[in-house]
Structure 1
Amino acid sequence: MKPPPFDYHAPRDLGEALAVLAEVGAHGKVLAGGQSLIPLMNMRLASPEQLVDINHVAGLDTITAEAGGVRVGALARHAAVERSPVAARAQPLLRTALRLVAHPVIRNRGTVVGSLVHADPSAELPAVLTLLGGTVRLARHGGTERDVPADRFFTGPLESALEPGELAVSAYFPGLGPRTGTAFREVARRHGDYAVAGAAALVTLDEDLRIAEARVAFVSAGPVPVLLDLTEVCEHRPAASADWPAVERAVRERLDPDADIHATAEYRRHLSGVLAARALRVAAAVAAGDPAGEELDG
């Protein structure tokens, strides 16, 4: 299939890109990796009149350590972030999640920021940004920038807070504090498919290595990534004696996922509970300094 007709723009610097976006407004779409946009256009599910290709804009492919985290530029490919020692040191959950994204050929072209802007609730990276409380930086012509937190950035399925004329120039992923670990667990029908259900978990331990904080962001559980604070379910318990069945029950009670052709709502709810408990257990082991923590499988 072929996309509908469109006008093509290839700006060479950020200022030019923002000027073009200001001119085309709601009629324009940004092309970065194109791994979601191009298929949608080919299937005529998206029909932008103006396509703004930012791949020639210098300085947007950076991966930079910042105080307390890592900032990923709009043209940083999945594969580059997955392999980046800077990103791995600042936020190891990024590498864990990116290894679950589609296939290597997709990760070689797709971009981290593009995945966030696409705002698919079945994708891994929106859940990671939500779990960590990260932000997306949006810029527009005239020098105006704003940082939108994850809990306000994702507004619905394939919908974000990005406004006409704006460009998502970077995303910020906060790092981890002391005695904090993360993990990601998901189930897909085939490797590389979108997950039927998934859970990104974060656990912080106190000085006695008891659970002081536990939260999980879920994939494929709602119109946007769903974040649950499960601290009270396992608070003040060592991970080895945490009540993981209680965690599963709490998740099933609080989640209200939709049914689709891949899973019933009840199956997705059950699976989310199992994955949340497994991910929390692994995250707690990592937080405790267990080098084999990531080998745990619940």
Structure 2
Amino acid sequence: MGASGVSDEYSPPRLSRWLHSVPHINVTLHRVNDTFAPDSPVYLESLGIIGSIPGAWLILTLTVLLIYLLTRCCDRKQRPPRSITALKITLMILSVLCCAAIGVGLFGNDDLHNAMLQSIQAGNQLAALVNTVKNQSSILEEAMGSRARAPLARLADALDAPVANQTALGTLLRALSALRNNASAAASAADNLRRPLAELNLDAFMKRLWVWEAARWVGGMAGWCCGGAVCVALLAAAARRSRRALLLLCVGALGALVACWVAAALLAAGAVAAADAILV
């Protein structure tokens, strides 16, 4: 009764398949090839269009905000202090929700950092394996090439001496010829294995990737923390009814909104590109 074996075939995550299924279109709204091709202008154009969707939503949000501000500027009617109570409560609720969203963002940034560290560790192991293959193939090529010539030459010279048993001599000569052919084939195979890996320097790439990831993690944590500080300060200003603080922090929140949507556009295009690369 045979045991059921576990398949080692790689299965892409469901999220990658979903992102890969996002339609890739050009500026004429025609669907283009979704195969990962970073050197193709058409493919890069489709990624730019995907990244422009959060930008379009940002423009729509800013347009609505501008219309609201224009109505407020044109409103000269004096209002009692309690007339903004509902607006203040709404602002406080939205500030609390933004703080919760920023907490989720901090968790996601740290989770992504841990995943990137695991990927970098696996990449370092792959780089060490590639270096081992390059070293072993070089040793094998040298052993089967230059080092094997002198012993084989001495053996050929020894077989050139007069021998009474010609049958045994013929067998030895055929074995020597086969040994030379095998040594040449092994040296050629080792050279074919080493040559494609000679220009592959994964160590430098993994070091640069680690620097980029460290900078991304620090920048992400700093950005999320600054956004959380703005939300907390906005909540305090709304509670204290500080008009100047509210204006200043609203401008800061507007800048944070623009930065978040720009980051969302970059992440959307990058996520789709990563999914396309996985499913190549």
TM-score (norm: length of structure 2): 0.19
TM-score (norm: length of structure 1): 0.19
Which structure carries more relative contact order (alpha carbon 8 Å, separation 6+)?
Answer: 2
- Larger C-alpha radius of gyration, 1 or 2? 2
Higher percent of residues as helix: 2
